[in-house]
């Protein structure tokens, strides 16, 4: 029975892997009436940007870091292994925000993406001393993002929001089953995701991105 529970918990952990959260978020976003008039080519490019910068590049960096013996395992069970990969992930998320900005995505989406990058960076810093949950940070950011998008678009998020909160509870249970975290580490991770996205998405990051890209180009 314990093996079955562990297998189920591992499957849930993989399904809600932190790098997948931006992809889930953008998938939900494009279901809104606001985007029903957008050309399919635009939507495809947005998905490609998310997949490349939020999933593929971080995963490739994890493998390279393992091959260079900088981390001991790509799954990063040890807190010491998590710091540099998460910093790289944060930078990749920022690059994703810049690409989405250049592709004229709505500003509230850019702000959310930058906020997720900040939450990831905070997770990296805390992980140097304490194994805060990256999984719960990710899904906490998703929960906050759903709420912010609903405020920005005037949509009713009740079903999706409740579903995401239930998913967060399921994920927390899975992480406890696998003995990856203490309850406090899970709560701290969820709070980190919620607070970072809720607070930092209030800033107009588009102005900074515009100025930064102007200096580069």
Model pLDDT for residues 172-185, shown as the tens digit of each residue: 999 999 988 999 99
Instruction: For residue range 146-202, list pLDDT tens digits in order.
Output: 888 888 777 877 888 888 999 999 999 999 999 889 999 999 999 999 999 999 888
CA-to-CA separations, 187 to 12, 13, 74, 168, 190, in angstroms, rounded: 18, 16, 24, 10, 5
Cα separation, 101 vs 105, in Å, equals: 6
Higher-pLDDT residue of 20 and 180 is: 20
Contact of 93 with 120, CB cutoff 8 Å: yes
Which tens digit of pLDDT belongs to each residue from 7-16? 899 999 999 9
Angle at 28 between CA 153 and CA 63, to 5 degrees: 130
pLDDT at 95: 93
Work out the average pLDDT over 98-110.
Answer: 86
Residue 77 CA from chain centroid, whole number: 19
Tell which residue, 130, 119, 128, 94, has the closest CA to residue 205: 94
Do you know the residue count of the chain?
Answer: 217
Mean pLDDT, the chain, whole residue set:
88
The pTM of the full predicted model, rounded to 2 decimals, is 0.90
Give me the mean pLDDT over the 45-68 stretch. Answer: 93
């Amino acid at each position: 029975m314990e093996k079955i529970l562990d297998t189920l918990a591992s499957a849930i952990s993989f399904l809600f892997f932190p790098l997948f959260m931006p992809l889930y978020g953008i998938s939900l976003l494009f279901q809104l009436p606001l985007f029903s008039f957008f050309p399919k080519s635009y939507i495809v490019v947005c998905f490609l940007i998310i997949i490349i910068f939020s999933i593929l590049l971080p995963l490739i960096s994890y493998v390279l870091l393992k091959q260079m013996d900088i981390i001991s395992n790509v799954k990063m069970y040890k807190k010491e292994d998590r710091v540099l990969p998460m910093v790289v992930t944060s930078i990749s998320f920022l690059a994703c925000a810049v690409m989405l900005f250049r592709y004229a995505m709505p500003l509230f989406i850019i702000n959310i993406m930058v906020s997720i990058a900040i939450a990831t960076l905070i997770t990296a810093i805390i992980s140097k001393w304490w194994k805060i949950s990256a999984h719960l940070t990710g899904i906490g950011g998703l929960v906050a993002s759903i709420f912010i998008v609903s405020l920005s678009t005037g949509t009713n998020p009740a079903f999706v929001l409740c579903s995401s909160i239930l998913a967060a509870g399921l994920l927390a249970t899975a992480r406890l089953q696998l003995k990856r975290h203490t309850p406090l580490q899970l709560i701290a991770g969820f709070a980190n995701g919620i607070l970072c996205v809720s607070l930092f998405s209030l800033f107009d990051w588009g102005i900074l991105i515009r100025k930064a890209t102007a200096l580069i180009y």
